[in-house]
Chain A
C-alpha cells in the first residue's frame, strides 16, 4: 500500500516489488530466510532499536523503514521510499557518516555452512567484489584477513556466535583487491538465531581505519624518536599543566625522580616532596613570580629521592604558555651538582682553612694577592700580639712589625704579589708582652683547586724559643760547669763553645783547634787512657765515651776535667765522622777526693781533723763504719740530701734513707768486702718525688791500725744540672722540627755525609714518593745534576766541605721524581749549626720551579726565534747577494777549466802537465760552491740532519783550503788530534768553514809579526766526556781587549779588509751544532771550538 505522499505501508509478506526496485535484492536475502509469508525486517536493529533509513545503493531513492504498531501476528513496518532529491536527512547523515569512516554495512545470513552476504558499496570496493550480495563461506573472508590477526578475529566471531559476547568488535587487517593491507574496525552482532541457538543472521558495520592507524603509527614513531632524542641528549625536560596540576617528566627526568615509567605524567603533589624541603621555598617563590608574569623561571634546588638529591637548576621561559590560554609550562632541568659542590667546597674549604689556621700554633696571615693587603690573621697572631683584628687588617698589622724590618716585609710581599712566587721571610713582631718575637717563615701565593691564585699566605713560626733555648743552653752549661765540644774527626777540627776555652783556661781562639793541640795539653799520665777511651768510642757505636783527665791550663797548672760524649755521625762503613760531648770541670771534686783518700790513708790525721776536713769539703762525701752508721758527712752531703736539720752521725744509713733498695745494700756489702763501685750516672727518685741524677763512687776504707776494712766511703755528685743541659739540647731539636713542618716547600735535612736525615711532609708531591723512601738515601740521588756540582770524593762519598761549598747560593737542579717525571727545581742549602749534642747538618729547601722554567724557556725560544729572524734577514740579504756574486766568477772558472780540458784532449802531453792544476782548481771551485751553498743554507733554520764527522777530516779539510795562505806567510801548521775525540756530530762543510775561518784569522793576525815567531797549532782533545774541544792557537798580535767582548758580533774584525762576518757566523754555526766557539784568555791567542761527540749510531 502506497500512500499518496509516497509512503508505502506494507506488510512484510506483501512487498511491492515493482516499487522497491533495488530493494529487491534485499528482499531476496530476507525471503530466502524460508519464511515466505512474513520474515521480520530487523535490519534496523543492526543500527538502531527503532528505525532505519538509508539510501539504496546504486539508486537515487532513499528508503526508511520504521516499525508500525499494528496488531497481528506479524510486525509491520513502514517503508518510506523517497525519490531523488528528497533524501531523508537521517539517511544522508548515515551515508556521510559511513563515508567519512570509509566503511560500510554487512549482513550475513547463514544457510548451513554457507552464508549469503550483503556488503555495502565501500566494502565491495575494498574487497573487489562485484554485486552487493554474494554467497560464500566464512573461510573465504577469514582467508583474506592478515595471518597475525586471523586467530583473534575468528575467536571473537565464535564468541559472538555462541552468545558469549553481546557485540562483536574486532580490529584487523584485511587484504584489499589491490593487495594492500587495510586496517578495519569491525562492529556487529547476531540478530537472529535458529531455534537450536546457532546464529542465523549476523549484521554489522565496518570502517576502514588504515589512515588513522598509519597516522597513529607515525605519531608513535615521532614520539619514540623524540624520546630517543631526549634520552640521547640527556635533556631533562618537564611540562606543567596548571589546570590539571599534572607534571610531565621526560625519561631522564623521571629517572632522576626515581619513577619506574619513563617518561611519565605525575600529579604535582607527587613531585613536590622530591625537592629538598629547604630549597622548596625558593623554587615556589620563583615559580609564583614566573606565573605572575616574570619573563623566566630559574631556581636552584636539590631534587631527587631523599638521600640521593643532586643540585639542579630548574628553568622555564615565558613563551611556553599554550595558545588556547591554558597555563602550560615547559621547562628544563640541568644538573649543576658538580659546580655547586665546587662552590660550596670553596666556601667550606676557605672556612675550614681559616678554622685550621685559627687552631694552628703558628702565625698565619692571609692577604689579597693584588694589593698585598691583609684580610685575615689567625687566632694565634691575635693572641700573641693582643690586638683586635680590626687594627690588623689592610696594612694595620705592619705597625706591630719592628720598624727596622717593616720595609723588608713590605717589599717581600710586593715581590710575591708581582712574581707569584714564594719567599722566605723573617722579622720581629711586637707581642703583647712588649717584647719582639722572632718570626720566621714564608710568604707564598695561595691557589684554589683550579690553580687560580686566591691570595697570599704567610706562615710564620715564633723562633724566639729557639733563640731563648740557645741562651738557656749556655746558662745551663754554665750552671753545670760544662762546656761543649764538637770534634770533626775527618778534618781533625775541634769546635768548642767559648765556655770550654774559659774552663780550659785558654784565651778564646779564633777558630777551631785540632786534636793535637788538645792532647798536648792532657796530662802525660792520662793521655794513653784518654786515647784508649776515644778509640773505643770510635769503634763501638753504642759506647758512651766518658773519661776524666787532667788538663793543663795556660798557666801550667792541671785541672781535672770529666769528658763525656759519643760519636754522632758515621759514614756508611761505620767509620766515625764526628763526636760531640761535654767537658765538665771536676777539679774541685777531684781535689776533695784526693784529699779525702789521702786523709783516710794518713794515720797522722786525726779523726777530728778528718771530720773537719770532710765537713768542709766542697763535695758530697760521707764515711760510714762497717755497720753502715755515719762516722762523718760533708756539709755538701747534708745539703744535697736535705739532712742539714737531721742529726745523722751514728745513725744507720738505711734508717736515714729507708727508700734505699736491696741492690744498694748489695753494693755496700761488696764494698765492705773490698770492692770499689762507681756509677757515672744514676737516676734517683727521692721520697719527696724529686728526680736527681747522681754520679757516685763507693769504696772501702782501711783501718791503718788493723789493716782491715773499717767501713765505706761514699762520694756522690749531683749531676742533675748537667742532665738539664742535655735535655735543653733536645728541646732545641724539637723546635727545629716545628720549623721543619711549617715550611711549605719541601725541606730536606742532609747530614754531612750527604745522606738525607729528615724530610718535611711536602716532599711527596715533588719527589713522587713517601718520606720513608727518601730518608737515608744520598741527596745526590734525588737530583740529576747535583753530583757534579758537589765535586764529591772520587769514590762518590761526601763530607760537609762539599756541601759547604754549595751552601748559601740557590741553584737549579733537575728533580728526579720517582713517578718518572723530571721536574726543574731550585735548591738552597744552608748549614745548620744546631746547638747541642747532634752534628752540623744542612737544610736543603727544594722548590718546584718547573712552571717558571717553562715560561723562561718559552721566552728564550721567542728570543731565539727573533734573533733567528733577524739573522735570517741579514743572511738572506747578504748571503743571497754574495752567493749570486760569487756564482758568476765561479761559473766562469768552471767553464774555463772545462774548456781547457776539452783542448787538452788533443794534446796528451799538455794534459799530463796541466791536468793536475786543473784538478786543483776544480776541487777548490767545488768546495767554494758548496761553501756558498752552506752560507745560503745557513739562512734557513738548521735541520738536524747531521752526520758523524771525523775531527781529522774537518781539520785536514780546512788546512787544505788554507794551505796557500799559510804558505804565503811561511807558517807550517802543527796539528795534534787525541784519539778519543775522533768523531763529532755535524755538517762537515759548515765545520770546515768554522775551522778555516779560524785558521785564516790566525794567519791574518800573524802577518805583522816576525816570520820566525809565526806559529799555528791546531789540536783536538776530549772535553768533559760529551764534547770535543778543537783549538786553534796562533802566536799573532792577539785580540784587542777592547773588542774581545764584541768579537763574535757581526761586523767586528781586527782585519780591516775582511767583511767581519766570519766569527759571528762561525759562532752561530757552532751553536747550531750544539757546540760553542770561544776565545780563551791569555796568550797565545786561542779560539776553542766545542763540538758534541758523535753519539755512536750514525743516522
Chain B
C-alpha cells in the first residue's frame, strides 16, 4: 500500500482524461484517499478553465482527442509551469517515457496501473512540489545504481530506443551479452522493462 497522507491535503490533484469511466474511477479513488480532485475531459478544457485552486499535481492522459497530453505537457513546460505531471498511457514506450520525463513528468504509468502506485506517485509529487529540471548526470546515475561502464553505455542506448540487436551492433558485442547486461541493469535499477530503465534514469 502506498503512503497515505494523514491529513487532508490543501493542494488539488487535476485529472485530465477524455475517458469518462476511467476519469470518474480515478476521481473516486483519489477522493477515497482524501485528495482534493478536479477533473477535465480534455487538454483544451484544462487550458480554458479558471484556476482558483492550488494545483499540486496533474494526472494527464497521453492520448486524447484534440491537442492531447503530449502537446499540453510540452506547452506547460515551455511556459515555465513546473507542476508535477503523472502521465498515464495505454502503451508506454521508451521514446514516450524519455520525452515525458525530459519535459517535466515525474513518472509515466501504463494503464491499467496498480492504484497504490498512483496514490504513492501523487503523494510524492505533492510532497516534493514543483519539478526542477536539470540535465541528467550520468556519473550520479552510475554511482546510484553501481553500474559498470558497459551497462551505462547500454542504458544510454536504451534511452535512445535502440533494440537489443542494434545495441549489440553498435557496441560490437553479441545480442546475448546485451540481454545479459540488460537483465543485470533491470535488477540493479529494480525495474522490469526498458521503460522502467528510461524512467529511473530520468527521474529526479
CA distance A880 to B110 in the complex (A): 13
Contact of A902 among B25, B33, B114 (CB under 8 A): B33
Residue tally, chain A, CB below 8 Å to B: 20
Given A902-B33, A903-B32: A894 and B21 interface contact (C-beta under 8 Å) = no
Contact of A899 among B21, B22, B29, B112 (CB under 8 A): B29
Contact status A895-B115, CB under 8 Å? yes
Contact status A895-B25, CB under 8 Å? yes
Chain B residue at smallest Cβ distance from A895: B25
CA distance A888 to B115 in the complex (A): 13
Indicate if A891 sits at the interface (CB-CB under 8 A): yes
Contact of A884 among B24, B26, B91 (CB under 8 A): B91
CA distance A893 to B33 in the complex (A): 16
CB of A767, distance to nearest CB on chain B (Å): 37
**Which positions 91-117 of chain B face chain A at CB distance < 8 Å?**
91, 111-116
Contact of B112 among A880, A891, A903 (CB under 8 A): A891
Contact of A891 among B33, B91, B111 (CB under 8 A): B111
Contact status B90-A898, CB under 8 Å? no
Contact status B116-A887, CB under 8 Å? no
For A626-661 the 0/1 string (1 means CB < 8 A from B) is 000000000000000000000000000000000000
Contact of B115 among A880, A890, A894, A929 (CB under 8 A): A894
Given A891-B25, A892-B25, A895-B28: A925 and B91 interface contact (C-beta under 8 Å) = no
Contact status B91-A895, CB under 8 Å? no
Q: Which residues of B contact A887 (CB under 8 A)?
A: 90, 111-112
For B56-95 the 0/1 string (1 means CB < 8 A from A) is 0000000100000000000000000000000000110000
Q: Which residues of B contact A891 (CB under 8 A)?
A: 22, 25, 111-113
CA distance A125 to B29 in the complex (A): 104
**Which positions 924-961 of chain A face chain B at CB distance < 8 Å?**
925, 929
Given A888-B21, A888-B90, A889-B22: A894 and B112 interface contact (C-beta under 8 Å) = yes
For A470-503 the 0/1 string (1 means CB < 8 A from B) is 0000000000000000000000000000000000
The total of interchain contacts (Cβ-Cβ below 8 angstroms) comes to: 61
CA distance A883 to B25 in the complex (A): 19
CB of A893, distance to nearest CB on chain B (Å): 8
Indicate if B44 sits at the interface (CB-CB under 8 A): no
Contact of A880 among B26, B32, B91 (CB under 8 A): B91
Indicate if B19 sits at the interface (CB-CB under 8 A): yes
CB of A880, distance to nearest CB on chain B (Å): 7
Indicate if A896 sits at the interface (CB-CB under 8 A): yes
Contact status B29-A884, CB under 8 Å? no
Q: Which residues of B contact A883 (CB under 8 A)?
A: 90-91
Contact status A892-B90, CB under 8 Å? no
Contact of B90 among A884, A894, A897, A903 (CB under 8 A): A884
Contact status A898-B115, CB under 8 Å? yes
CB of A989, distance to nearest CB on chain B (Å): 16
Q: Which residues of A contact B29 (CB under 8 A)?
A: 895-896, 898-899, 902
CA distance A301 to B63 in the complex (A): 79
Contact status B111-A899, CB under 8 Å? no
Residue tally, chain B, CB below 8 Å to A: 19
CA distance A888 to B63 in the complex (A): 12
Q: Which residues of B contact A894 (CB under 8 A)?
A: 25, 112-115
**Which positions 896-933 of chain A face chain B at CB distance < 8 Å?**
896-899, 902-903, 925, 929
CA distance A884 to B112 in the complex (A): 10
Given A902-B33, A929-B112: A884 and B63 interface contact (C-beta under 8 Å) = yes
Q: Which residues of A contact B25 (CB under 8 A)?
A: 891-896, 899
Most buried by A among B25, B26, B114: B25
Q: Which residues of B contact A884 (CB under 8 A)?
A: 63, 90-91
CB of A24, distance to nearest CB on chain B (Å): 84
For B151-190 the 0/1 string (1 means CB < 8 A from A) is 0000000000000000000000000000000000000000
Q: Which residues of B contact A890 (CB under 8 A)?
A: 111-112
Chain B residue at smallest Cβ distance from A881: B90
Chain A residue at smallest Cβ distance from B118: A895
CB of B7, distance to nearest CB on chain A (Å): 16
CB of A28, distance to nearest CB on chain B (Å): 83
Contact status B21-A892, CB under 8 Å? yes
Given A883-B90, A891-B113, A895-B115: A902 and B22 interface contact (C-beta under 8 Å) = no
Contact status B21-A889, CB under 8 Å? yes
Contact status B19-A888, CB under 8 Å? yes
Q: Which residues of A contact B22 (CB under 8 A)?
A: 888-889, 891-892, 895
For B1-34 the 0/1 string (1 means CB < 8 A from A) is 0000000000000000001011011101100110
CA distance A893 to B19 in the complex (A): 13
Q: Which residues of A contact B113 (CB under 8 A)?
A: 891, 894
CA distance A898 to B119 in the complex (A): 11
Contact status B32-A899, CB under 8 Å? yes
Q: Which residues of A contact B21 (CB under 8 A)?
A: 888-889, 892
Contact status A902-B32, CB under 8 Å? yes
CB of A922, distance to nearest CB on chain B (Å): 10
Q: Which residues of A contact B112 (CB under 8 A)?
A: 887, 890-891, 893-894, 925, 929
Q: Which residues of A contact B90 (CB under 8 A)?
A: 883-884, 887-888
**Which positions 385-444 of chain A face chain B at CB distance < 8 Å?**
none
CA distance A1081 to B131 in the complex (A): 66
CB of B197, distance to nearest CB on chain A (Å): 19
Chain A residue at smallest Cβ distance from B109: A891
Most buried by B among A883, A890, A898: A898
Contact status B32-A888, CB under 8 Å? no
CA distance A897 to B25 in the complex (A): 9
Q: Which residues of A contact B115 (CB under 8 A)?
A: 894-895, 897-899
CA distance A897 to B116 in the complex (A): 11
CA distance A589 to B113 in the complex (A): 107
CA distance A880 to B89 in the complex (A): 12
CA distance A897 to B28 in the complex (A): 10
Most buried by A among B63, B91, B111: B111
Chain B residue at smallest Cβ distance from A889: B21
**Which positions 21-52 of chain B face chain A at CB distance < 8 Å?**
21-22, 24-26, 28-29, 32-33
Q: Which residues of B contact A893 (CB under 8 A)?
A: 25, 112
Q: Which residues of B contact A902 (CB under 8 A)?
A: 29, 32-33
CA distance A898 to B116 in the complex (A): 8
CB of B120, distance to nearest CB on chain A (Å): 12
Chain B residue at smallest Cβ distance from A933: B110
Q: Which residues of B contact A896 (CB under 8 A)?
A: 25, 28-29
Q: Which residues of A contact B24 (CB under 8 A)?
A: 892
CB of A411, distance to nearest CB on chain B (Å): 49
Q: Which residues of B contact A880 (CB under 8 A)?
A: 91
CA distance A19 to B113 in the complex (A): 121
CA distance A883 to B63 in the complex (A): 13
Contact status B116-A888, CB under 8 Å? no
CB of A441, distance to nearest CB on chain B (Å): 52
CB of A878, distance to nearest CB on chain B (Å): 14
Q: Which residues of A contact B91 (CB under 8 A)?
A: 880, 883-884
Q: Which residues of B contact A898 (CB under 8 A)?
A: 29, 32, 115-116
CA distance A266 to B30 in the complex (A): 102
CA distance A887 to B90 in the complex (A): 6
**Which positions 851-909 of chain A face chain B at CB distance < 8 Å?**
880, 883-884, 887-899, 902-903
Chain A residue at smallest Cβ distance from B115: A898
CB of A875, distance to nearest CB on chain B (Å): 14
CB of A60, distance to nearest CB on chain B (Å): 78
In the A-B complex, the 6 residue pairs with the closest CB atoms: A898-B115, A891-B112, A895-B25, A892-B25, A884-B90, A899-B32
B residues adjacent to A (C-beta < 8 A): 19, 21-22, 24-26, 28-29, 32-33, 63, 90-91, 111-116
Q: A889-B22, A895-B25 are in contact. List 15 more A-B contacts (CB 8 A).
A: A888-B21, A888-B90, A888-B111, A890-B112, A891-B25, A892-B24, A894-B114, A896-B25, A896-B29, A897-B115, A898-B32, A898-B116, A899-B115, A902-B32, A902-B33
16 chain-A/chain-B pairs, Cβ below 8 angstroms = A883-B90, A884-B63, A884-B91, A888-B22, A888-B111, A891-B25, A892-B21, A892-B22, A893-B112, A895-B25, A896-B29, A898-B115, A899-B32, A903-B32, A925-B112, A929-B112
